[in-house]
Structure formats: structure tokens, C-alpha cells
Amino acid sequence: MIRLLIVEDSALMRKLLGQIFTAEGDFGIAFARDGAEALKVISSFQPDVVTLDIHMPLMDGLACLDRIMLEHPCPVVMVSSLTEEGAEETLAALEIGAVDFIAKPGGAISLSIDELAPRLVEKVRMAATVRIRRSRRLAERVRLTQVIPSQSTIPSRGRGLTSQQRGRDSSRSGLVLIGTSTGGPPALDAVLAQLPAGFGWPVVVAQHMPASFTGPLARRLDKICALTVSEVSQQTKLEPGNIYIAKGDADIVISSRAGSLVAMAAPSDQAYRWHPSVDRMVRSAMKHVPATDLVGILMTGMGNDGAAAMADLHAAGGYTIAESEETSVVWGMPGELVRLNGASEIRRVEDIGSALLDRVC
């Protein structure tokens, strides 16, 4: 039996969510109307998972989440709106320690709850398997302090590396492809903030997210990275010194135009389950870039998106890195890459950036 605490100020939403999980047959459910009540219920109910609305009276979801992670660490799935404001708050929640999020569909929730239900149940079941260590919050703060430079220490954009700093043949060019899902935004923080302004290869990222979330994600990363970070919403030339975030609810495809590599947002291909599809991104890149000039990185995420394509990339001579089980929120995607013998290296998340710098001039 999975003990689930639903924290939601809307009586209708509490009722509908309760019906969804009651119908599953293996959930024990408790409810709270706001963050303050949730903290009282948690201490006695000891939930395996909490679903937490962001906008609530008395104590909002972010304040409640902060208290949960400090006082009663347990897996939390945020319930967010699809607005830009909702995206910003959700990204903040993931940084604080939420395991995952689900975006409420637009319109009358009573009419669209059937659309929400399967994904919500899947995410909550996954979250129930995550073990949050009591020390995790402090460890995450220390890690981020060590890994992510302050604004005063981020190298100026456009500043090139010296030949000595580059180490290897500086004329070599290529492309870095990163795929991630559940737990991805904090992992991207840790990896991408380590790359200096003179990093020689473009970086393309496919993070499973709705379309309204990937723009705020790109802007947030742009503030903490030495490289320029942008969302790909139209055909975009891939250039060194840049990180390109795939637009949500679509796929990103790598192609060649007039002798230059470009990235394009393409309608999501239903042959792939998750979007933006990591598999599709990697396979499209392999059509236009020699495998030896590609680095694939697969990090935390539910499912297996990207594993087969990166295993093929590895077999063709490309270099691939899988995030370790120790630091992954969910060792689904990188774990599948390891199972397929497709990982050149397995690295803790805080070590992936340095491994990438060792590999790329």
C-alpha cells in the first residue's frame, strides 16, 4: 500500500484526485487543504509520496516544500499550472527538492481530469520508489555551491580559452547531445554551469517538459551559465559558445543547411513516447555528424528515451556518458544505456562536466 498525501486547496480537485488514486486500489490517501495543514498531517500519516499544489492560502506550495525537505524529507510531486509563472515556480520547486511535477491541463479540470490521470499515477508510482535521504537537502545545497559559480565568478561570455587551456587539437569540431527527464533541471544546473565561455562545441539539450516550461528553463540556465542558453523554436544555426534547449511538446532535429549544422523544432513524432525525444535528436545528429565527433550524455529520467540511440552512437565510435545510479533521481534512462553496454563512462552528476571538458577541446 502506497501512502499518498494530496495537498490541494480546491475541494473539487481534492475529490477528483482522490477518486483517481482510490480507483487504483493500492493507495492509502490523506488530504490537506494548505501547506500548514500538510505539515501537521505528514508527521502523523508518514506519507510515501506527497502531491503538492503550488498556489494555496496560508502557506503556499514552495514554502511548504521547503519545510518538508528540511523536516520530513519524502518524495514530492508538484501540481502546477501551464502558465509561465507556474513554470518558474515549478523550476524553483525542483531546485528545492521536488522529485517531479505534473502540469494541470487547461480548461475545466473536471472535464480534463481523464487526460491528467494516467501520467499523474505513473509519476506518483515512480516517486514512491525514490528514497530521499535526510541529508539530501543539505548535500544538494553544498553540491550546488561547489558546482555552480556565482554571477561574479562566471567567465565573461565570448572569452575564448587559450591553446593551453584547450589542451587537445583546437581545430576539432563536434556536437554535445544531452538527454534528461525526471530530476533533470537540477542535473542540468550542475553540468552546464561547469562549462567555460570558450567551450568549443555547441550543446543541444532534450529535457522532457511541456512547451510553456522550456523557455523559462532556458532563461534560468542562461543566468547561471557562462555559455549563452536559448530555446530552439525555429531553425537555428548551431555555434560554439551556445547551449540549445529543445522546445517542449515538440521534438528537436539536427540537420545541415548550407554546410552548417542547424537545430529545428519539429512536430512531435508519435513513434516516440517522450518529448522532446532524445532518441530522435541523437539519431538525426548521427545522419549529419560523424559518430566520433559526437558526445552523448544521458542523465536522470524515467523510462528509456535515448538509451537505444546512444548505444548505437557508442557502437559507431561516439563517446557516451551515463549518470550514475547514485546521483540520479530515477536511474531509468541512464540505467538502460548501461544495461545496453552503451556507456563509455558512468559518472556522478557533479563529475560529468569535468569529463566533458576532458573530452572536448
**163 pLDDT above the threshold of 70:** no
**Which residue among the candidates 53, 305, 312, 351 is catalytic per the annotation?**
305
The answer for residues whose C-beta is within 8 angstroms of residue 320's C-beta and 6 or more apart is: 295, 296, 297, 298, 310, 311, 313, 314, 337, 342, 343, 344, 345
Judge: domain 140-359, CATH 3.40.50.300.
Answer: no
- Yes or no: say if 106 and 197 are a contact pair by the CB < 8 Å rule: no
At 182-218, the pLDDT tens digits run: 999 999 999 999 999 999 999 999 999 999 999 999 9
pLDDT given for residue 148 in this prediction: 47
114 included as an active-site residue: no
pLDDT given for residue 104 in this prediction: 79
| Least confident among 12-26, 79-93, 114-128, 286-300 | 79-93
Per the model's pLDDT, the better-predicted residue between 133 and 277 turns out to be 277
**Which residue among the candidates 80, 81, 181, 328 is catalytic per the annotation?**
181
pLDDT tier at 108, thresholds 50, 70, 90: low
pLDDT tier at 339, thresholds 50, 70, 90: very high
Distance of CA 299 to the CA centre of its chain: 8
pLDDT tier at 133, thresholds 50, 70, 90: low
Superfamily of domain 2-134: Response regulator (3.40.50.2300)
Q: Where are the domains of the chain?
A: 2-134, 140-359
pLDDT given for residue 82 in this prediction: 74
Note whether 2-134 and 140-359 share their fold.
yes
Average pLDDT over residues 283-309: 97
Per the model's pLDDT, the better-predicted residue between 83 and 74 turns out to be 74
222 included as an active-site residue: no
170 included as an active-site residue: no
**269 pLDDT above the threshold of 60:** yes
pLDDT given for residue 49 in this prediction: 98
Give me the count of residues in the chain.
Answer: 361
**Which residue among the candidates 34, 48, 53, 208 is catalytic per the annotation?**
208
